Every structure is written in structure tokens, then in C-alpha cells.
Chain A
Amino acid sequence: MKKTQLNFFVILLAGIFLLASCDESENGPKGDFDNGVLVINEGNFMAGDGSVSFFDPNTKITTEDIFGLVNDGLALGDVVQSMTVVGDEAYIVVNNDNKVEVVNVNTFEALHTINNVKLPRYFATASGKGYLTEWVSFSESGRVSVVDLTTYSVTKTITTDFGAEHVIAVGNKIFVSNNFTNTISVISTTTDAVVKTIEVGSSPGEFVLDAQNKLWVVCGGDYQENNSALVQIDPSTEAVVKTIELNRNVPSKLVTDKTKNALYYYSGKSVYKLATSAIVAPAEPLFTRASATGFYGLDIDQNTNIIYLGDAKGFASDGEVYRYNLDGSFIDSFSSGRGPNGFVFN
């Protein structure tokens, strides 16, 4: 059975390879996975089954666990939180294994493991350096580790606030949402020190930049309090521009489309769209998927404007990814690994 499975993958890979080569006959492919969607599958907590799936939008073929496939069955780890592409490398943050796996994003060959980090969450680069957020623990302040991108070593750690979560670079600053609090830490990438702390709503999560180069952060709110909010911040003045109350509980996912004039978030089984110019939250969702079990990941391919929505299926089985057009019309779906929580469009 193992063997047939392997053969199947070989054939599958060969197929992908062929198709990929057709697409990029001029430049030649950089690897089997350089033209498609990488699905980040968090895996079930403590089951160590986090993975990355590769979806080819042209062939509609999904290859599961490409890290294991390429690297002789090695496991990516427990709670694969996020993946950030830096050049040809992807930094895959494995939260509950306290590590970051660095792979070649096109071939998925394992290159390096960054250890000695504590409950890492997200990774971003600025001023030629890597910035990794870490929760550290539930009873201590979170921190940001500065990573040397050539040696993969941590050169400095910067303490922020409890639950250091998402990180985004804007010019020579990085913004860090401290998820267990209501603060955003601003760090200068010149001095690698916290220069300001901004108060926003409760439980800040992901950031996006809009077309006006304003920063948005989604605040999840307090458990069951229906007080989630979207907060717009001017990254130059580091001041809150406006706050839009969402009147519901929203997870920490926030994305924009190609125009960057609209924000997208989900709650329950519905996806909502909010123009960046809006001052109140939409009452009606953009669309609802009643048959879904529970959304867990959301992103929009900035080239095609296709919405990718991960359903974790209660973490009891493999996940499913739904694709929608920006107008809310359903395209199709494909299965992924367990707990699809995010996407990278390679």
C-alpha cells in the first residue's frame, strides 16, 4: 500500500512537473511548487500533523504534505502557524514545536531549523532582517526575535507585550499585535527597540495595508462579547485613525483584495467585506456557506482576486478549501491537510 501510494505521488509529481514546465517554458521552473497555492495546515494540537499542501489552480490537483514528500517523510511539526516567503526561502513557523523550518519555497527542500524560540507565531522581514514574534508563554510578555537572514541565528530579542502575534513591516518600522492585550508595539528596525505602544481594541490579530498605505488591524474582542473591531492606524504618525465596531466575534484573520480598497474577514460561516472608506460595519455578509463546519483560514490571491477559505472541519478530519470570486460566487473546493489556516500564493 505504501508503495502504491509512493508511486501515485511520483506520477502526480511528474504530472505537476510537466504542467509546470509547460507554463514556464521560457524561464524554466524553479521547482515543483513554484506556481500554485501553498496551503498552510496547522494540524491538530499535539498530534504533530501540521503540513503544507500544494494546490495547482490550473490542474486543480492538490498534493498533500509536500514537506514530508520532498524530505523523506520528515514531519513539519505540531501547530504550523504561518509561512512567510523571503526570496526563494519560506520561513515556516511551527508554534508548538518551538521552531521555524526554513525551506526552499519552490522545491520545499528543508534548509535549516531555527530552534530556541518559544511559541513562535509570525515572521516578517524589514531592513534586511527577520522579525519573529513569540508568545514565549501565557504568563510572560511576548517578544520579537531579530533573525539574521544569512546565518538564521537570533541576534536580539525585543520584549513587547503579552501574546506577541502578527507582525507587519511598514518602511523602517514593524508593527506587532499583542494578542493577549489591547496593544500594538511599534519597533524601529534601525534601533530594534520598541518606540511606541498603541492602544487598540481587545485581542489584536492580523494586519493589512490598504491602498492609502494605512494599516488595519483586526481586534478579536473578548470571548463571546461580540465586540470585535477593525482599527485603522496611520503608520507614519502611529496614531489610530478610526475604529469600526463589528458587533460580532471575529477571528484574527484579515485580508485585502488586489485593489486594497476593501477588507475581508469572516465570522461563523460568513465572509464579510468592508470598504476601507466605510465608517460602519456591514450588516450583511458578502456570502455564507451554510454547509461549512467552521472557517479557519482566509486569504485572497492578489493576482487573480480569488478568495481562498479554509474549513478545519472541527480538526477531526482533513480540511477543505473553498474558492470564491470577489462577488461572493462559489468557484470550487479542494481538500487540504488538517486545519487549513492560511495561504501563500507562489
Chain B
Amino acid sequence: MVLRLGMLFTLVLCAAHLLAQSDTTVLAPVEIYGIRITTYAVGAKVNTLSQGNTVQTLAASLAAESSLYFKNYGSEQLSTISFRGTTASQTAVLWNGINVNAPTLGQTDFSIVPMFLFDEVLIQYGAGSALVGTDAIGGSVSLKNENVIFSRGFNALFHQQVGSFGRIASGIKFNGGNHKWNFSTSLYGFKIKNDFPYNSPAVGYIRRQENAAVKNEGVRQQIAYKISETQQVLLEGIYAHNFRHNQPTVTNFGANETLDNKQVRLALHYDLASDLGVMRATVAHIRDEQEYTDDANSLVSTNQWSALINVDKQLSRQINIRWGGSANRYEAFGDNYPSDLVESRYDVYSSIRYSINSFWLLSINLRQAFYDVRYAPFAPSLGTELKLFETKLNKLTWRGQAARAFRIPTLNDRYWLPVGNQNLKAEDAWQIETGINWKKQTKYTKVDVELSYYKTQTTNMIVWLPNENSNWAPINLQEVNINGLESNLTANTQQGKGQLNAKLSYSFTKSINERGIDGSSIGKQLPYVPIHSGRLMLSASHSGWTIMLRNNYTSMRFISLENSERQALDAYFLMDAELFKEWHWNKVLLTSRVQVNNFSNLYYENFAKHAMPGRNFSMSISIQVNNQLK
């Protein structure tokens, strides 16, 4: 049956958020899933993005988030994150609750995470270690697939895109099954030549980018079986391959470096609903291989085995509790690691969410992690939410959170031969956060305004410096104090067949070095953290047509600790536009789209001396079929 369904090209989970809206009653989920982890993040800021139906990277999916900055080494090239003014290793990236940051380097290259294989990204802003463990100092990014719904029928999606500089992207998805089984398959391929022209002031004439071509492909397969109304098993596997020529600096001639990344993700879940609560037990295997080629090759690979258990229990109408734990075992292979490098880490946690009354919510989350016979800092968080005012059409909420977060030193920090330092302490952060949210609704119009302030103090940050033997070695040294403001405004109004939407977000981030290698960097902004960052999205829809404008303002970024203005990257204001039309025929939704990115053809950089493409175009078509039967 899998085959037969597979031959109908596609499926679709991704479309679920779109299609599910009209089918909410039919698709009502079995009560076998626990409540979302973010339900316990009372007082924290969370956001969910549903973007699984185009072939794009996680970096591209998150581009609209003004509190996130990506150091892109070019178009579709290495992208590391700075979330709320933190470093690239201070954001947890999770899949099924498992931290999938590379255990060697402690960070994720967001350009090799294929969003097409996931349905949504859940973003938790700020210190989240109490909920998700290590690395969640700036925030956490969780890759999600929708909960399986056992019903007869299928969903399918076919997506095809072509664009400038040799961009070709194809993807198909299929999801189908019956009341016992569910199968889900996603497949994508992507390539781009990336031979875009650029006009960098550092070069002085227009050059065409060399050595920046990228090719990706990947697949995700999921099989779910419902044992009974209270039990199910789910097996999922992902393989993603990314091959790229590493885009060199703008002044370079004759670059020939390439990087080949292979990712394998396997998980088996068992879900059980009982009087003790809703339990999910997971065993998973994660493998990454990275081969760097610059005439000579170097290969680094890591294996990770994980076992997790999570139990959610509603104790009363007012109280939810959650508890669980995880065990992770890591291996790393490469010339610079001991041949027998194996490390185990364990986490135990519990959470409580308490609705004191109809307007006051409280949550407490606690976590303790252990690694390599050491304790990571005990990470508690305490959050609260208070409805200050509520009518049928108006709601004003205040929230606050205090939390501790940590980052366990990476395998490189501790085992890199011969300078790895086993005595390194975990990076340690405290954060307080507060925010208000105002929602107003009238017959045709909705407005949502949110303001947040946070303060993060991080100590024991690990930096690599030359030691007395002139070899680079890691030490606990840096201290950083971050103060940030975030504001979001969304508004939409609907009249007849027409709809107008606006989304404005602005982030102010002061990420200040308080202790470092010497005095010249004290009191200075961390490199690659823009102080001002804003996004504006405007869209207008009418009878199936939508036109959308997206703007991105990113202020000047320093690239060195002492904030040399001479080298700083210029601020930029980017404009993208797209036009799309949706056609509905019975169970089929066809979307065709034309997009212009960077239409003012601005030269800009997100990482020093690495060109980003100027004006570029793309066109795409998506066909979604939703054939859900009773």
C-alpha cells in the first residue's frame, strides 16, 4: 500500500495547517499526545512558524525573526545563529526533544537543516535550559512534525521552484493511511549554481561569484501504527545530504574548497496514555558526517544515541505536571579526537503548571544535567502570567520569567587533541524577562501588540586563545551582559473577499562584553550582533491573489571585539516582494508564486567579505491534494 500511495506522488503533512483548519473536527487528535512543551514556558516568549511546504533551509525559514541574526557565509552557505545577542553555540536546536547541535562544535549550521522535511519550527526566546537542557541561553529552535492523525485518506503535495543563478528545487510529500496505520514520506532536491554578480566596494568592480554552488537532497519517512486507543508506535527516519562549494571571500581567486554533510536521524517513539499520564518514550540515533575538501580531505563524524522519556499528567483542571529524563551517548571520530572518545550525558527534569485562578498562571521548571561525571549547573525557571484586563474583544496580559541556562563545553572544548581541557566549566547564564501583550479584536480587525524586555548575564564563556606553547586552547573567560527589547505588532483586517495583513517587529540588542582577553573589548558590543533589527511584512489578498512585501533592516555590525568601525559591516535595508495566486478545486489547492528578492539590488554582507546575492527571481508552483475520508 505504501508503494501504491507513494506512486500517487505526494503527500502532505505540510499542508496540514492550511487544510486542517476546515477539517478541525474530523482531524481531532486522539488524546495520546502530551501538551506542548511550551505550555510550561509560562512567562516566556514563544513563536511557532509553519513553513514546511517549500524547499528551503532553516536559516531562510527564520529570516523573518528580528531577534535572530544569521552569520551567512554567502547565499545557501554556512549560517550560524546569534539569538538575542548570544553566540552561535548558545542556541539549542532540537529534534524530538533531542539536542542536535553538533556535539563537536556545539552549534548548528542552519543552512543544512532542510525545512521541507519538517512541518513547523517552534522558537522559544531566551533562557530555556530548564525545559530543553544545554545550549538554550539565547533561545531554542525545535524542529517539529505534526502529530499523526489516524484516518482514512491521504494528503499530497508537489512543489517545484526555479529561480535565478541556477536555482532548482523540487519536493514531494505524501501522507496517508487508515485508522490503524499512517505513512508519511517527504523527498526533496535542491541545487543552485550561485554564480551571482556582486559589486563589493572591497573589489571595486563587478565580479561573478565563483565556487559557491550547492546541491542538497533528502528524504524523511515515517510509519505510525495505532496499537489501541491508548497506545501507538511511530518510527521516523531522515537522511539529508548537503554538498557545497564553500563560497570564498569577495577578493579571492581560485578557491576550491568543498564541504559534504550527511545527516542521519532515526527515532522510534512509543506513546501511551494511562492514569499516570500521557507518556512518550523515544529511542533515537543521530549521525553526522562532515567531509571538508581542500585538495586534501578531512573527515569528522559523530554518533549519538538517545533515550528519552516524558510524562505529562493533568492532575486537576488547574495543575499540569511533566517529568522525564534522557540519556545521550556521544562518539566523535576524526584526527583530532582520542580514538576511544565516548561520552554519556543524562538529564532529569520536572515541570509544573498551575492556574491559580482564571487570570493568574504560574510555572516552575527544574532540570539537572550530568555529563562526564560532572554536573551541569542546576537549571530552574520560574514563570508567571497575569491577565490584567480581559473583555470579549480586548485582552491585556503581563508575563515574567526568571531562569538559569547553561551550555556544556563541547567535545572539541574538552577533547581536542592535545589542547582539549577536561576541567572547563559549563557556561552559565541567568536571565530575567518581562513582557506585555495586548490583543484587540473588532468585527473585521485584529491587532496584537507585544513588548518584551530581557536581561541575560552569562559567565564562564569559553574562548580559544593561544597558550604558553603558542597552541590554541579553550579557557573559561568571557562574561557578557545582554539587555534587549523586542516589540511585535501584527494587524489584519478582513472585508469581503479582501484581507490586509501587517507584521512589524523590532529588536534592540545590547550585548556587552564585561570580561575578555584584555581591556580593549570591555564595554563593547559582541561582534555580529546588530543593535537594531527590524522586519516589516505587508500583504494584501483578494479572491485568491496575494501580494506581499517583506523588508529587513539590520543595523551596522562590528566584526571585532574592540568594535573597530573601520571594519564594521554596513547596515542594510532589504526588500523582497512576492505575488501568488491560489486556486481551489474540490480537494486540490494549486498555488503559483512569483518572487523577487532584494529588488533594490543592494550589496550587503552578513559575514565579513562574503557577498550576498543582489536582485534575484524565482517562480514556483505547488499542488496540494487533501483527500481525507471519514
List chain A positions with a Cβ less than 8 A from chain B: 1, 5, 44, 46-49, 64-65, 68, 71-78, 94, 96-99, 115-116, 118, 136-140, 223-224, 226, 248-251, 267-269, 291, 293-295, 312-314, 316-318, 335, 338
Contacts and interface: CB of A to CB of B under 8 A. Distances in A.
Nearest to B200: A75
B248 interface: yes
Given A48-B608, A140-B295, A317-B560, A249 B469 contact: yes
A291 B518 contact: yes
Given A313-B518, A317-B560, A137 B294 contact: yes
Interface stretch (B6-14, B33-41, B458-466): B458-466
B229 interface: no
Contacts, number: 144
A139 B295 contact: yes
B249 A251 contact: no
A294 B561 contact: no
Interface in B150-203: 200-203
B135 to A, nearest CB: 21
A211 to B, nearest CB: 28
A226 B418 CA distance: 13
Contacts of A138: 294-296
Contacts of B517: 293, 313-314, 316-317
A58 B626 CA distance: 79
Interface string B532-570: 000000000000000000000000000111101111000
B470 A295 contact: yes
Contact of B203 (A74, A291, A316): A74
Nearest to A118: B254
Interface string B330-369: 0000000000000000000000000000000000000000
A294 B465 contact: yes
Contacts of B248: 46, 78, 96-97
Given A64-B566, A317-B560, A75 B250 contact: yes
Contacts of B250: 48, 75
B252 interface: yes
Contact of B463 (A118, A312, A316): A316
A223 B418 CA distance: 9
Contacts of B295: 136-140
B604 interface: no
A75 B254 contact: no
B560 A316 contact: yes
B255 interface: yes
Contacts of B565: 1, 5
Which are the 10 A-B pairs with shortest beta-carbon distances?
A48-B609, A294-B466, A137-B295, A75-B202, A48-B249, A317-B561, A268-B468, A138-B296, A139-B296, A317-B562
Given A49-B608, A99-B251, 18 more contacts: A46-B73, A64-B566, A73-B204, A74-B204, A97-B248, A99-B253, A136-B295, A137-B295, A138-B294, A138-B296, A223-B418, A267-B470, A268-B467, A295-B470, A314-B465, A314-B517, A318-B562, A338-B560
Nearest to B246: A46
Interface residues of B, number: 45
23 contacts: A1-B565, A47-B607, A48-B202, A48-B251, A48-B609, A49-B567, A72-B201, A75-B202, A78-B251, A97-B253, A98-B253, A136-B295, A224-B471, A249-B471, A267-B470, A268-B468, A312-B466, A313-B518, A313-B520, A314-B464, A317-B517, A317-B562, A318-B562
Given A46-B73, A97-B249, A73 B564 contact: no
B471 A223 contact: yes
Contacts of A137: 294-296
Nearest to A315: B560
A326 to B, nearest CB: 22
B567 A317 contact: no
Interface string B242-283: 000000111111110000000000000000000000000000
Interface string B464-484: 111111110000000000000
A216 B591 CA distance: 72
Interface in B563-619: 564-567, 607-610
Contacts of B561: 313, 316-317
Nearest to A338: B560
B521 interface: yes
Nearest to A45: B249
A235 B157 CA distance: 74
Given A137-B294, A223-B418, A224-B469, A97 B251 contact: yes
B6 to A, nearest CB: 43
A96 B253 contact: no
B369 to A, nearest CB: 28
A330 to B, nearest CB: 16
A317 B464 CA distance: 13
A30 B249 CA distance: 33
A49 B568 CA distance: 11
Contact of B608 (A47, A74, A269): A47
B514 to A, nearest CB: 15
Contacts of B471: 223-224, 249
B594 to A, nearest CB: 35
B566 A74 contact: no
Contacts of A48: 202, 249-252, 608-610
A250 B567 CA distance: 31
Given A48-B202, A48-B609, A314-B463, A269 B468 contact: yes
A311 to B, nearest CB: 9
A48 B566 CA distance: 13
A274 to B, nearest CB: 18
Nearest to B201: A73
Contacts of B470: 249-251, 267-268, 294-295
Contacts of B560: 316-318, 338
A317 B521 contact: yes
A106 B408 CA distance: 52
B249 A46 contact: yes
A261 to B, nearest CB: 26
A94 B254 contact: no
A294 B419 CA distance: 15
Contacts of B520: 313, 317-318, 335
Contact of A318 (B201, B202, B465, B564): B564
Contacts of A65: 566
Contact of B254 (A46, A115, A317): A115
A314 B463 CA distance: 9
A291 B465 CA distance: 13
Interface string B193-220: 0000000111110000000000000000
A224 B418 contact: yes
A116 B249 contact: no
Contacts of A47: 249, 559, 607-609
Interface string B43-85: 0000000000000000000000000000001000000000000
A1 B520 CA distance: 21
Contacts of B567: 49, 338
A46 B610 CA distance: 9
A90 B471 CA distance: 31
B561 to A, nearest CB: 4
Contacts of A249: 469-471
Contacts of B254: 98, 115-116, 118
B109 to A, nearest CB: 14
Contacts of A73: 201-202, 204
A71 B131 CA distance: 53
Contacts of A74: 201-204
A251 B469 CA distance: 9
Contacts of A269: 468
A75 to B, nearest CB: 3
A96 B248 CA distance: 9
Contacts of A68: 202
Nearest to A74: B204
Contacts of A295: 470
A287 to B, nearest CB: 15
The CB with the most chain B CB atoms within 10 A, among A46, A248, A267, A295, is that of: A46
